[in-house]
């Protein structure tokens, strides 16, 4: 067995999980010899978790069952908050209240609330969030949320949690080593390895990298990190929009907000030469960035995820693959699949929801930390 445990030990563990209501028997399947084998499945009704995506354009909150099936979602624009921590926390609190009310779930009975943030979470007696893209430095986000939330709160980098979600429920399933690209206003990546064991609370089979701030053009465009020529300065959502608006024949957008405008740009590309040109250039830069990852890390799966991946991924995927083919080492390119994420607009919130699920798993099915 992959677990290294004896059959008797596995049977005892499964019996305990059944007694605790975590799993249930789901029928029988014929074996190669002897008695039929009993199938076991996780019970979604074992409990509920909340996932929170704190981004640069919106805060999205999702309520999920224990199998990460979606029960309710809520999305709020962050435009009025100016990304100040207290107003953002207020949106999170409102969103948690909204989704539990929609589903008729008791907030006090939640297994936990996971929060994904576009930055680093350092633990030194307390969790402090460093998110330069939000303008946050040493923000005690967990403490701010725990004051008013009735369930355990867990915080991690959003690319890392998204990588876990894609490995569990999305396009990373079955991969030996997947790189999950989180494409939004910012650009990040998680390297997810299926065989990596749980590591306590973190427990995620992924690590993050500042891929968006790798330089692909020496002395190129200025990046908000202070450097020049970073990948994010060419494929981040606002960079793509600015690229289009800089064209001499660019037409003003009819919609407001970064997300709506990017969707408008993708729609225009079918009949607008300038918009098509911009998407082609974006695909080329993204392909170069992906080729660099392939040459460095030798993955067998690349997943383009995040809300930008959802919005323009289908339009640029063929050109991205072709650019990667030209720039990656041929024997490495031959073993990798480049695919779109499968989790939709709620991908990061779903990823954040894996945090309390992992905690329950790591604690042997305990309902509370």
Considering only residues 256 and 29, tell me which one the structure prediction assigns the higher pLDDT. Answer: 256
**Mean pLDDT, rounded, of the chain:** 87
CATH architecture of 47-159+347-362: 2-Layer Sandwich (3.30)
Q: For position 198, what pLDDT does the model report? A: 41
Q: What is the pLDDT of residues 24-69, one digit of tens each?
A: 666 667 666 666 767 776 766 788 999 999 998 899 999 999 989 9
Residue that the structure tokens 């007694």 belong to? 19
> Domain 171-342 falls in which CATH fold?
Nucleotidyltransferase; domain 5 (3.30.420)
pTM of the model as a whole: 0.82
- Nearest Cα neighbor of 356 from 20, 44, 49 is 49
Q: What is the mean predicted confidence (pLDDT) over 292-311?
A: 94
Burial class (CB in 10 A: 0-12, 13-18, 19+), 282: buried
* Tens digits of residue pLDDT in 225-250: 889 999 999 999 999 999 999 999 99
Q: Which residue has the higher pLDDT, 269 or 363?
A: 269
pLDDT above 80 (res 18): no
pLDDT of residue 199: 41
**Cβ contacts of 339 within 8 Å, gap of 6 or more:** 171, 301, 302, 303, 304
- pLDDT score of 2: 55
Confidence of residue 201 (pLDDT cuts 50, 70, 90): very low
Looking at residue 197, what is its pLDDT?
Answer: 44
Q: What pLDDT is recorded for position 27?
A: 64
Q: Are both 47-159+347-362 and 171-342 of the same fold?
A: yes
Give the pLDDT score at 369.
Answer: 44
Confidence class of residue 312 from pLDDT cuts 50, 70 and 90? very high
What average pLDDT does range 286-306 have in this prediction? 96
| pLDDT exceeds cutoff 70 at 205 | no
Query: Is the sign of the CA dihedral 348, 189, 269, 278 positive or negative?
Result: positive
Lowest mean pLDDT among 9-13, 255-259, 269-273, 302-306: 9-13
Q: What is the pLDDT of residue 192?
A: 85
| Domain ranges, ordered by start, for the chain | 7-42, 47-159+347-362, 171-342
pLDDT tens, 141-197? Answer: 999 999 999 899 999 999 888 888 898 889 998 899 999 999 999 999 999 887 544
Give pLDDT, residue 365. Answer: 60
Q: Which residue has the higher pLDDT, 77 or 22?
A: 77
**pLDDT at site 203:** 38
């Amino acid at each position: 067995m992959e677990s290294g445990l004896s059959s008797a030990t596995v049977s005892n563990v499964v019996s305990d999980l059944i007694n605790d209501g975590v799993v249930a028997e789901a029928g029988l399947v014929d074996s190669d010899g002897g008695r039929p084998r009993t199938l076991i499945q996780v019970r979604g009704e074992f409990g509920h978790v909340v996932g929170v995506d704190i981004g640069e354009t919106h805060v999205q909150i999702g309520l999920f069952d224990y199998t990460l099936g979606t029960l309710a979602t809520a999305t709020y624009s962050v435009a009025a908050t100016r990304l100040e921590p207290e107003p953002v926390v207020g949106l999170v609190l409102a969103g948690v209240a909204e989704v539990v009310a929609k589903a008729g779930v008791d907030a006090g009975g939640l297994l936990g609330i996971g929060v994904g943030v576009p930055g680093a979470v350092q633990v030194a007696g307390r969790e402090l969030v460093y998110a330069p893209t939000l303008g946050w430095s040493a923000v005690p986000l967990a403490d701010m949320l725990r004051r008013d939330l009735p369930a355990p709160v867990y915080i991690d980098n959003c690319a890392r949690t998204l990588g876990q979600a894609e490995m569990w429920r999305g396009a990373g399933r079955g991969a030996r080593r997947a790189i999950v690209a989180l494409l939004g206003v910012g650009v990040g990546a998680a390297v997810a390895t299926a065989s990596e064991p749980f590591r306590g609370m973190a427990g995620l089979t992924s690590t993050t990298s500042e891929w968006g701030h790798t330089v692909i053009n020496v002395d190129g465009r200025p990046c908000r990190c202070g450097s020049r020529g970073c990948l994010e300065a060419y494929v981040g959502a606002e960079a793509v929009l600015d690229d289009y608006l800089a064209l001499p024949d660019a037409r003003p957008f009819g919609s407001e907000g970064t997300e709506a405008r990017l969707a408008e740009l993708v729609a225009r590309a079918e009949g607008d030469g300038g918009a098509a040109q911009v998407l082609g250039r974006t695909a080329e830069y993204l392909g170069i960035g992906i080729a660099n990852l392939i040459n460095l890390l030798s993955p067998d799966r690349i997943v383009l995820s995040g809300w930008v991946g959802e919005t323009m991924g289908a339009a640029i995927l063929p050109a991205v693959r072709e650019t990667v083919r030209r720039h990656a080492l041929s024997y490495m390119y031959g073993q990798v699949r480049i695919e779109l994420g499968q989790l939709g607009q709620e991908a990061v919130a779903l990823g954040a929801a894996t945090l309390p699920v992992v905690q329950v798993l790591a604690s042997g099915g305990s309902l509370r930390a």
